[in-house]
Structure 1
Amino acid sequence: MRISTRLLLTYLLAVALVGGALTLAVPRLVRAQLLRSTADQLAVRAQDAGRRLLRVPRTAVLQFTAGVLGADAILVDSNLRVVRVVSDYPPAQALEGATLVGPEAQLVRRALGEGHGVGAVLSGRLGVVAGAAPLALPGGPPVGAIVLFQAVEPLEPALRQTERLVAAWTVAGLVAAAVLASLMSRMIVRRLTAVTEAARAAAEGDLTRRVPEEGADELADLARSFNHMAERVQNLVEGLRRSEALRRDLIASISHELRTPVTSVRGFAEALRDGVVPPAERERYYGIIAAESARLSRLIQDLFDLARLEAGQLELRMQPVAVDDWLRAFADRAGPVLAQSGTVLVLEPPPVPGPWIYADPERLDQVLHNLVENAVRHSPPGEPVRIDRVLDGGEVRIRVTDRGPGVPPEERDRIWQRFYQAPGPDGRKGGAGLGLSIVKSIVEAHGGRVGVEPAPGGGARFWFALPALPPRGPHGPA
């Protein structure tokens, strides 16, 4: 059985049960309330008649009150004996001279005891609605009571008409409730069907389907949860697809990058082994093999470092670092090596006394080495590479400037990607395309950021920024 049918049957069953109970109970409650209201009105009128009865002829007051109300009257003394009856109702006429008992006596006793008018429905031998009130002189005890009553039988047509009206309205309400229940079940099923169809589409591979988030009820929460789940799954699948594409690119790039030095080492080694290299050329062949082996070693180390960085497994030995001292030490180590290849490394004097940062000095050396190596690769021969640092707000920014062709705006984000190789000044690509990716990963692991911008006078200025430590005097940070 479909859920829409079950919902509709459940609603209809609930409506039928509640409606049946209301159809039976409401008319009776209305009937009882009408009778009670009539009795209370008679009690009020009886109290008003009781105040006048001792000042004017009793029969006149009784007849006047009964005539105005369309009710009958009984006058009772303090011993509950009926003194006077003004009524054409035979059961009431039979009470004259008798002593009240049963519900009639209880009504009079309540009026005498409470001192004001009291109404009641007397369903005993009289079958009337009545109101009783005490008779008493000002400041004196009650000397009797007046009872105004009206037979229920003459009220029956009006009561039955009221019951029919109430029953009709109750049935109309039940029909309306059934129609609303049907509409509600259809709306619920429609919204659930939308979730089902979207889930089926997702199971078949369409992760773009979304469910309308209507209202603020549980179904809307379900729709929002489904949409959030679908978006997360879609992002995950797209991420897996990108990862798979990157994995294929990585394998292809690694294969390509490893093939060149391995081929060189193998070719020159076989030439030396076969004795086809003249003695005068052997030293150069040995140098080529050593250089290609070093290149292969660097590539493998870069791949290893990049894998650990992206997996979050690179261990950082963090400590306070004096930036200016660290830059001078780096320039002292790297300057002579670069000078052998015809490149001058220039360390610009700092504008203000040195700041401190919290970092791993060895990893910072790797970052700066990669940036300097990138600048040398893209600079014309003989052009200097400059290093400086500035304070930018709460950051220390270290900058490496070259005199190369610069980086076009459309490539300033791509150059930080793995294996992306920007052409050098001669139009050829160099390196494995891992250096800047490693720079970005290491700097971000330190909580910093990287960037590139045009250098004044031409070229490119690569920079990385790390948070500065608060100063605490000449010997260290706060």
Structure 2
Amino acid sequence: MRGPIRRRVLVATLVAALVAVVVTTIAALTLVRGVDNSAGRDALAAQVQRLASATPAARQAVVDGLSQLGDQGVLVALVTPRGAVAGSASAEAVPRVRLELRAGRPVSTTVRRDGRSYLVEARPVAGGGGGVVGAQDASTARTLTPAVLTRLAIALAIGIVVALVAALVVARALSRPLVRLAGAARRLADGERDVALEPSGIDEVADVEAALGSLDRALARSEGRQREFLLSISHELRTPLTAIRGYAEALRDGVVPLEQLPEVGRTLEAESTRLTAFTDDLLALARLEADDFPLQEADVELGAVLREAEVAWLATASVGGVEIEVDAVGPVVARTDAARVRQVVDGLLENALRVSPAGSRIVVRAGRAEDGAAIVEVADGGPGLTPDDAAQAFERGRLRDRYRDVRPVGTGLGLSIAARLVERLGGTITAHSTPGGAVFRISLPRAGA
């Protein structure tokens, strides 16, 4: 059934009430009819017993002069010792009733005749010699049923009305907090934050309210971080753009001496490189969020990937006076994308070279975890990470904003890109500090996984 919950609760309550009415009516009718039949049979048996205890002349007078006993339509008949029957209840004195009477046993039974049921009571007369048979239409014997049915119908009608009123009250009580929740959700969708929610006394609705409140706070935090990130990126983009624009205006106006042109060219190249790094990182993040991000999975020997990265970064490391060492004993094979693993390692090496002072060493390892997963570690010689740094290392721009005035920082996107790449590869990445610096650990699916 489609429609608002108020209508559903109302219809469900009415259906339940009607089912209860039908079941109650059937049970009550069965009970009342049983009681009515028992009462009618007891009354009939008492009359037949009195007649059986009367004198033969009195019994004969009843049968000869009357067709029934009392005002309830009781038919009577006499059964002789030889089984002959005389009286208005002759049709109900069926052979099995006569047989029982001739044997001196009382009879209490029901006989069907002409589509009707008759209550039949038969008692033998004292001293033997037949007996008395009384019969009464079962429908006329039910004196309680009509009155009870009338009162039962009134009571059930009152019950349905009360159920309808209760359903309206319950439906209103249930729908009101849900309507408020829907309104709060729409306000959140429209961009409003810190939406106040009126507490509800319904546990399930209170759970939804708590979840909606958590969503509200999470959205506020996420949007706050996005604003901080955009402000940071805007600042970083503005700095090189300002330099490029200033030198471009100076070149246009011819105020740059010829001997300074190489220096100006180097400055423009450096600032352009910074802009390229920012845009490349932003594009990488955008691609990582796409559903069709390409991966070329195969069995990859990680030691070979690390040695290729070592060769590529040796020149940069030697300029900074930093040593790079690859520690990969034996083949370490993972089921992954070699190019993407190299991209992650390059990002971690760039980050390590930025924070490692001259004379320090960067160690890149490949190995196996206890569960068989392939492991890659990049350990730098920098200042290390606090527990809070390690917990937030892969959030965009968090460490950059925290240490931008303390030590060299990058775009703030490199570790976030590394974390998303590893996630896409089906692995995990963690960060922790050691006495000699920081260690970034990558876990990748083993070969054949």
Asked whether the two chains share a fold, i.e. TM above 0.5, the reply is yes
Q: Rate the CA distance shift 1:40–1:289 in 2: closer, same or farther, 3 A.
A: farther
Alpha-carbon displacement from aligned partner over 1:443-466 (angstroms, at most 9, x marks no partner) = 0011111111112x3311112211
Match of 1:199 in 2: 178
Shift of 1:182: 7.1
Q: Rate the CA distance shift 1:27–1:277 in 2: closer, same or farther, 3 A.
A: closer
> In 1, distance between residues paired with 2:134 and 2:57?
12
Alpha-carbon displacement from aligned partner over 1:198-247 (angstroms, at most 9, x marks no partner) = 13322443574575558xxxxxxxxx5x6777677666666655554455
Match of 1:130 among 117, 121, 136: 121
> In 2, distance between residues paired with 1:377 and 1:149?
118
> In 1, distance between residues paired with 2:332 and 2:153?
81
TM-score, length basis structure 2: 0.71
Shift of 1:151: 9.2
Match of 2:277 in 1: 298
Match of 1:146 in 2: 130
Shift of 1:262: 1.6
For the pair 1:266 / 2:217, whether they are aligned, the reply is no
For the pair 1:344 / 2:349, whether they are aligned, the reply is no
> In 2, distance between residues paired with 1:38 and 1:421?
99
Match of 1:255 in 2: 234
Shift of 1:319: 2.1
Letter in 1 for 2:89: P
Q: Is the 8 A contact 1:117 1:132 kept in 2?
A: yes
Q: Is the 8 A contact 1:108 1:145 kept in 2?
A: no
Count of aligned positions: 403
RMSD of aligned C-alpha atoms? 4.8
Look up the SS of the partner of 1:469 in the other structure.
coil
> In 1, distance between residues paired with 2:201 and 2:383?
52
Q: Is the 8 A contact 1:110 1:118 kept in 2?
A: no
For the pair 1:378 / 2:358, whether they are aligned, the reply is no
Look up the SS of the partner of 1:72 in the other structure.
helix
> In 1, distance between residues paired with 2:294 and 2:10?
62
Identity rate, percent: 28
Match of 2:97 in 1: 111
Shift of 1:334: 1.4
Q: Rate the CA distance shift 1:294–1:212 in 2: closer, same or farther, 3 A.
A: same
Match of 1:392 among 365, 369, 381: 369
Q: Is the 8 A contact 2:419 2:428 kept in 1?
A: yes
Q: Is the 8 A contact 2:385 2:438 kept in 1?
A: yes
> In 1, distance between residues paired with 2:413 and 2:183?
38
Shift of 1:181: 6.1
Shift of 1:365: 1.8
Once structures 1 and 2 are overlaid, which stretch shifts more, 446-455 or 314-323? 314-323
Look up the SS of the partner of 1:416 in the other structure.
coil
> In 1, distance between residues paired with 2:379 and 2:33?
97
Q: Is the 8 A contact 1:111 1:133 kept in 2?
A: no
* Structure 2, unaligned runs of 5 or more: 1-5, 66-76, 185-194
> In 1, distance between residues paired with 2:15 and 2:377?
74
Look up the SS of the partner of 1:418 in the other structure.
coil
> In 1, distance between residues paired with 2:368 and 2:360?
26
Match of 1:72 in 2: 52
Look up the SS of the partner of 1:320 in the other structure.
strand
Match of 2:63 in 1: 92
Q: Rate the CA distance shift 1:6–1:302 in 2: closer, same or farther, 3 A.
A: closer
> In 1, distance between residues paired with 2:11 and 2:274?
73
> In 2, distance between residues paired with 1:442 and 1:17?
65
Q: Is the 8 A contact 1:39 1:120 kept in 2?
A: no
Q: Rate the CA distance shift 1:390–1:196 in 2: closer, same or farther, 3 A.
A: same
1:279-294 paired onto structure 2 within 5 Å: 279-294=258-273
Look up the SS of the partner of 2:384 in the other structure.
coil
Look up the SS of the partner of 2:89 in the other structure.
helix
Once structures 1 and 2 are overlaid, which stretch shifts more, 86-95 or 20-29? 20-29
Match of 1:406 among 365, 380, 384: 384
Q: Is the 8 A contact 1:132 1:145 kept in 2?
A: no
Q: Is the 8 A contact 2:281 2:414 kept in 1?
A: yes
TM-score, length basis structure 1: 0.67
